[in-house]
Every structure is written in structure tokens, then in C-alpha cells.
Structure 1
Amino acid sequence: MRWLILSLCGALCFAASAGNARAATLRHATTIASDTVRLSDIFAGLEPGQDRILGPGPAPGGAIEVSGQQLIAIADQYGIEWEDQSASASMTIMRAGRILDESYFNALIRKNLPELGDGPISITLRDFHPLTVSTDEADPVVLSDVKWDQRSGWFSSTVYRAHPTGDLASDSFMLTGLIHATQRVLVYTRSLPAGTVISASDVRLDESYSGHLPSKAVSNESEIEGLSISRGVVSGAAVIAQDLQRTMVMHKGDPVLITFASPGLRLSIAGRAMEDAGARQQVRVLNESSGMIVSGRVVDGSNIEVELSSHPVPSDPNTARRLAMSSRNNLP
């Protein structure tokens, strides 16, 4: 509150020349945007030409309290007729502030590292604390000594306030973290043991995966239908193509039970598989009763589920004979 003392000393000549003034009103709380406090920030209804700068304001996002005794002293020294003047009164002067969060610094880092390009990246800041600056600053901070190791992803720089406040801890500080390119990949939603046949509920699409990928990652759910994992995986790990294998539960020529399912109706008919298939995979089967070929989803090694809306197609005369021969050849 050094400016309060200075304002009292500097206003003696002004007070001596002040004549009868109309009554002003105390502002019990006011928010300023600049870095200085004016008399009009404390009192409303001043006479023309009566306003003036009193001194520096609080830091952005901060506030100062002015007591009743200080308010009376300021009013007396500047010739302010103050309605309801009281030593028990008080007022608060707040400084508007803008918070610079992680997203702000992420954009600033990208601006200072053009070699990152326009592709998706992941930036993880270490020991980050948001910074509050004035709302009227277009470019409140600058980055200096920007360094980035593309191999390890380690990033470091020094942040400087464009307008220092005198607080050494916030006027400049180190900004560090990791920067990695990101990819759109499937990741596991839960930990799974080796041999598990993957379903749609076991994976989700991560639009910005930044972990290490030892080989080709899978990004399309249709690529995992009927596949099992060759090793145990943990939740959040990327789905890697080399870890997937197709476990055949049905072979060409195997007798199967074809089930036509719809709400309120379930019909089962004997048939034969026309190709090898894994669990939950789409497979063509021959309806031995009608001689038609339908496509359905493998439920297990002997059951196929077909929707009634599917469109069967006629088989050629030799299909049943070929399937029967294939079935016999598969016998031990």
C-alpha cells in the first residue's frame, strides 16, 4: 500500500485548492484492467478534473483491501466529499487476470518449434503451474532457449514475462516436458490373458496415442474380428498386429447348425461350413435343406447365427458333393 502513503503526501496542494465539491460515492469493490489505481476506482461521482492516478495496482488476478481509515485520509487529502463516510467502511480493488494454462503453453511451444509440423503430437509438461497475466496483454510471455531432442522427446525452455512484475519466481521460470508424435490406434480397455478372443468391448479407439509402438498398430475394429491374442496385454496398451492370431474354430465342410434369429423368432437348420473361420467371423454356409448359401457369424465351432434380413444365393450342383468330400478328408 505504498501508493496510499505517497498519494496522501502528494495531494496536499490539491486539497488546499479544492472548493465545495459534490458528494461522491464509495465503490465497495472494483475491478481494474490496468496496472495502476485511479481515484475513480475508489470513488464514483467525482468532479470533472478531479480524477488522478494514485499508484500501482495489485498483480493480475490479485486484490488489495483499503480500510476505512485509509479511505477517509484519501478523501480528505483530495477534497472528496464522501457520502456516509465511516471508519468502519472498506473496499476491495481487484485486478483482472487471464490464466495461461497448459493448452496456451502447448500452442506456444508448437509455434516455437516449426519442425513439429502440422501432424498430431502429444505434449506433457513437467511440474507445470498456471500463470496469471493481465487481460490487456496480447503476448504476455516469450519462450527463450528452446531445446527439443527428437529421439527422447525431451523439451526445455525458459519462460519470460513480457512485462516483469518484480516477482523473480514468476517473471522467469523453466518450462520442461515431453513431446511425441501421436497416432490413431486401437487400445485395450482391460487387461487380457494370452489366448483371449477379442471382442469389440475389449478395445477402444485412441485418437492421440503417444506410446511406443514396436510394430504395426491396428486402427480399425473390423481387423480384429475373430482374432485372439498370443500374449497377455494390459489396459491402455496399443493393439499390435503381430500379437494377433486367428484361431480357427470351424473348418470347411464341418456340419453346423444355422440359426436364423430375429425379435420373437428363432429357427435352426442343419448346414455345412463352406470355409474355415474363427470365432465371431463372418462365414458362408450351405443350407442343406434348401441348397441355398447364406452368410452368418460364427458363434462357436458348430453354430452359425444368420439374420433374417440376409440374402441367400443358390449353390451350384457340385457344392454339396465338394463339401461332403472335404468333411470326409478332415476325419482322422
Structure 2
Amino acid sequence: MSRLPWTWPSRLRMILPHAALAAVLAGIMVLPQPVCADGSVVVTPGDSLDAATLEDLVRRSLPGPEGGEWSIRIVQPGLPLFNPAAEPLSITVALDEAKPMEGGRGPERVNGWLRATDARGHGARLRLVAELQVLETIPVPLRPLAAGMVAAPELFGEAAWPRSRLEDDVIRSLDELAGLELARRLPAGRPIRRAALRAARAIHRGEPVRIVFVDRGLQLTVTGHALEDAAVGELGRAINTTTNRQVQGRVVAPGEIVIGGSGP
């Protein structure tokens, strides 16, 4: 690669070790630069290449991960990089690995080169190292939630979370919360594991229930109060307030137990 016609301190060569070149290029002004259609960024004289812009360049050079997006952290070179030339520089990225590995419990690394070229084709390059993680958008509580609360959609928002830190039983969508309630307290902003959820209780200990006796086409309804919590489809115990006797039946709807027959 030919040299850029710049006058640099100590007349350093254009292709330098990372530490030396970073020291020469380090600047104070940090302005985000738009990425061009060809995947390059133009840094005008006196401006700098910032971390967000370089991360975007790297992201555009990677294949999109399935069901998520890349989180990128630039390890090398040090940023921002200042353009000391009297003309704009076109910045491009070339990665050594075409497809970084996913999985594991930490970020993967990808290596490559950052290239700076002027209008005459003169240029320089810097070694590029970046850490990559796949971010997956998942539902999280908007605030701390108490055990026993129904998992209503308005209680949850969405957050991007590193896939490598998500357990296999983490809830991935709001649809998975339908008909469930919290089996234990949930902190705000954290992934929700299935073990923290259960089927929503349709009867609650100490609360009134309707007890329906069904026998050979006949139906008798009395009132009572529940002796335990139970979800629809589960067996639940209650006290028949008419006879003061304990009964057990199938919970078929909120506040309703059926004894005998198959229930609605």
C-alpha cells in the first residue's frame, strides 16, 4: 500500500504498530460519521472516527445472526482516531474471519484490518480486533413484581440481552406468558425463567367459590370457600358452606369447581 502524503510528527511511516499509530491519531473531537452505500465512512480533515461508527462498519461486514443482532466492542485500535490530513479519508473494514463462531458463555473475537485511503489511493491500515456477542430481544419486568401476580402484558417491556448469558428455559416472547402468573418475585429488567411462572390460579385459598355437583344430568350449585389455590384443570378443595363439609372437585373456571360429570 502506498503512502499518504501527510506530514506527521517524527515523520512516521504510514503503516505503524497499533500503539504508535493510535498515539499519533488520538484526537479530541469525536463526531459520528455516516456509513456510505459502499460500506465506507468518510472522515473529513479535523474530524475523528469514533467507536459507534467503527462498530457499525464491523456490523455491516458480518453475516446477521439468526434471531438476534450483533453487539460489538472494539478492542483494537484505541479510539477515537483523528484525521490529521488536509483532505478527506475513506475508511473501510476487512475482516479475516468471514463468520465468527456463536455460542459459549462469553464474547467471541474477530480480527481484521481498518484501512484509510485518500482520493489518490494512498493509504494506511491498522490492525482491528473486536469482541462480538449476539443480542436477543426478550421480555423483562418493567418493575419488581410480587409472587402471585398475573403475568399481564403491560407489566413487561423488552430488552436486548446477550444470548450467551440466557439459559435454555428463559421466556423469549410475551406470547409465552399468556395464562400464567408469578410463582416467585421477579426483579426488574432481568430475564424470566419458566420455573418462576405457573398456571394462573383460578381459585384462591379463603376466597368464595361456586361448587357445582353434577350427577346423571342433574346439576346442583352451592356456595363455598376455597381451601387452597388451584389453576384451571387442577383438583381443588373447598368447604361447602351449606353442609360445612369439605369437598374436592375439578377447577373449570375462575371461582368454580365441578364435582362429578366431566365439567364444562
- TM-score with structure 2 setting the length: 0.46
Q: Which has the higher helix share?
A: 1
- TM-score with structure 1 setting the length: 0.38
**Whose radius of gyration is greater, 1 or 2?**
1
Bigger RCO (CA 8 Å, 6+ sep):
2
